[in-house]
Amino acid sequence: QPPRSCEDYWWEWKHCRGLRHAFHHYYAHGELPACGRWREDYEACRAWERHRAAAAQEALCKSERARVMESQKYAPVWRLRKSPPPDWYLPLDQDK
């Protein structure tokens, strides 16, 4: 059984190709989104479901692993703290 249903890959591809998403992605990243990966994953998922193709299964699993690794590669922007600073109750230096 594929990691996701094939319809999920289809809807991700349709969303990626949408005008609103393309505009937002271009505004945020300065380039149009690459949607071919979702289409390839959809086709591999269908091949896996229909013909139980081992190559399609491996390609889909590899793509999912890459997607997970890509989402985990960015460190948090801020370092989380365990407790407030010791002088949290004092006025800021700007007020002086």
Q: Provide the 3-class DSSP secondary structure of residue 58.
A: helix
Contacts of 34 (CB under 8 A, 6+ apart): none
Local confidence pLDDT in tens for the 96 residues of the chain: 778 899 999 999 999 999 999 999 999 999 999 999 999 999 999 999 999 989 999 999 999 999 999 888 877 788 888 999 898 888 887 755
Is the Cβ–Cβ distance between 67 and 38 less than 8 Å?
no
Is the Cβ–Cβ distance between 7 and 14 less than 8 Å?
no
pTM of the model: 0.71
Please report how many Cα atoms fall inside a 13 Å half-sphere around the Cα of residue 77, on the Cβ side: 0
Report the largest interatomic distance among the alpha carbons of the chain, rounded to a whole angstrom.
Answer: 74
How many CB atoms sit inside 10 A of residue 41's CB?
25
Domain locations in the chain?
6-68
* Spatial distance between the Cα atoms of 34 and 37, rounded to a whole number of angstroms: 7
